């Protein structure tokens, strides 16, 4: 039986990865200290869990005591919210950089088949060179994106110097089941649908003209597993994980709002106007392509909300 180690495996994306690997017959160990303030933590009864911060050196004593080699390591843990990173820059450096280095030290000794590091499209910053390509110069604007970029470089360095087999995935805006519904950094798809299901107006910042590339969590999990299991030698490579298609916030509001007019909020400062992934590389090298469509997903979810509504609120769930 293949074995996988997943850091951050109780969050939105990590939880889906755990479920998929369990279904595929893997033995899974999850490291997660539930430090996120917005996640709804997910547990799979067939996986094993350790409650540790990835920067805690005693964690690695625990792992070495098990005398177990993991075939694949998926590293998702760390500070993952921009505002949180701005509020706690030292903690962000500690978790995202030093924590990543600790994981890499463990992998340097145990030599898994592949280590997959989950990074972010935020490293592109305010670039206007759309669609974003992996070889583009990065423009890190906050501790979150900066530490993710530094971690990418650490993974590449451990590949060059120590022979650790790594793949780096830059995720774009992920949506899907179990996505966070509340808070400024909840995916707008789940946030808007949650607001509308409660009869609340969806909150839209500025004109809603800014666009993002939205990719379904199942497609993201497929990309991670392909990156891990691929027999093609692509170690140290960076891949965008998006769709190559963008939607404006206004378009998403119109998909879900029904007869509820959005509540207009002051625009956020320093936001990129247009975010689109160039996915040529991942399609060519890994044979990956997205299977899910944002518009189809929202339509299905709205129909479910309408069907499940028991309080006469269905009128606000679909546009007349």
For residues 197 and 152, membership in a common domain is answered with no
For residues 61 and 190, membership in a common domain is answered with no
- Per the domain annotation, does 75 fall within a domain? yes
Q: Is the peptide bond before 131 cis (omega within 30 degrees of 0)?
A: yes
The enclosing domain of 63 has a CATH number of 3.40.50.720
In angstroms, rounded to a whole number, what is the distance separating the alpha carbons of residues 128 and 126? 6
Q: Residue 209 sits in which domain range?
A: 177-214+243-275+291-316
3 state DSSP class of 316 = helix
For residues 135 and 59, membership in a common domain is answered with yes
Place of tokens 């998929």: 20
For residues 121 and 194, membership in a common domain is answered with no
For residues 69 and 193, membership in a common domain is answered with no
For residues 60 and 168, membership in a common domain is answered with yes
Among 118, 276, 139, 152, CA closest to 212: 276
With vertex at residue 39, the alpha carbon angle to CA 207 and CA 172, rounded to the nearest 5 degrees, is 50
For residues 71 and 110, membership in a common domain is answered with yes
Instruction: Give me the average pLDDT of each 10-residue run along the chain (320 residues).
Output: 96 96 97 76 94 90 88 95 89 94 95 96 92 93 94 97 96 93 77 87 88 97 96 85 95 86 80 92 96 92 74 42
Measured from the Cβ of residue 160, the count of other Cβ atoms closer than 10 Å reads 12
3 state DSSP class of 169 = strand
- Per the domain annotation, does 282 fall within a domain? no
Query: pLDDT at position 320, please?
Result: 31
For residues 134 and 16, membership in a common domain is answered with yes
For residues 121 and 141, membership in a common domain is answered with yes
For residues 80 and 181, membership in a common domain is answered with no
Query: pLDDT at position 111, please?
Result: 95
For residues 126 and 201, membership in a common domain is answered with no
In angstroms, rounded to a whole number, what is the distance separating the alpha carbons of residues 134 and 124? 9
For residues 114 and 236, membership in a common domain is answered with yes
Beta-ladder partners of 38 = none
Query: pLDDT at position 7, please?
Result: 97
In angstroms, rounded to a whole number, what is the distance separating the alpha carbons of residues 185 and 174? 11
In angstroms, rounded to a whole number, what is the distance separating the alpha carbons of residues 276 and 290? 14
Query: pLDDT at position 315, please?
Result: 41
The enclosing domain of 312 has a CATH number of 3.90.25.10
Domain count, the chain: 2
pTM of the model: 0.92
List b or e across 48-75, with b for residues whose CB sees 16 or more CB atoms inside 10 angstroms. ebbebbbbeeebbeebeeeeeebbbbbb
Query: pLDDT at position 150, please?
Result: 97
Out of 49, 72, 124, 144, the active site residue is 144
To the query of whether residue 144 is one of the catalytic residues in this protein, the response is: yes
């Amino acid at each position: 039986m293949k074995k996988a180690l997943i850091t951050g495996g109780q969050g939105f994306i990590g939880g889906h990865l755990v479920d998929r690997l369990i279904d595929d017959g893997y033995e899974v160990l999850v490291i997660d200290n539930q430090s996120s303030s917005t996640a709804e933590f997910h547990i799979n009864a067939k996986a094993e869990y350790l409650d540790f911060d990835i920067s805690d050196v005693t964690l690695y004593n625990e792992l070495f005591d098990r005398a177990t080699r993991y075939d694949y390591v998926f590293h998702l843990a760390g500070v993952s919210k921009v505002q949180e990173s701005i509020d706690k820059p030292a903690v962000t450096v500690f978790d995202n950089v030093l924590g990543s280095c600790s994981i890499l030290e463990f992998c340097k000794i145990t030599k898994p088949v592949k280590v997959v590091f989950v990074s972010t499209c935020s490293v592109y910053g305010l670039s206007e060179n759309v669609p974003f390509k992996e070889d583009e110069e990065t423009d890190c604007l906050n501790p979150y994106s900066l530490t993710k970029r530094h971690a990418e470089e650490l993974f590449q360095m451990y590949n060059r110097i120590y022979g650790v087999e790594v793949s780096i995935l830059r995720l774009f805006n992920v949506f899907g089941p179990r996505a966070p519904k509340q808070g400024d950094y909840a995916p707008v798809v789940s946030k808007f649908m949650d607001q509308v299901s409660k009869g609340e107006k969806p909150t839209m910042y500025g004109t809603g003209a800014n666009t993002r590339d939205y990719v379904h969590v199942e497609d993201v999990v497929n990309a991670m597993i392909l990156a891990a299991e691929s027999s093609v030698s692509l170690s140290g490579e960076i891949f965008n994980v998006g769709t190559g298609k963008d939607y404006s916030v206004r378009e998403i509001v119109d998909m879900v709002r029904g007869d509820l007019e959005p509540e207009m909020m002051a625009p956020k400062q320093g936001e990129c106007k247009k975010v689109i992934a160039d996915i040529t590389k991942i399609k060519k090298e890994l044979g990956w392509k997205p299977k899910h469509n944002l518009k189809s997903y929202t339509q299905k979810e709205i129909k479910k909300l309408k069907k499940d509504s028991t309080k006469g609120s269905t009128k606000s769930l679909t546009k007349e």
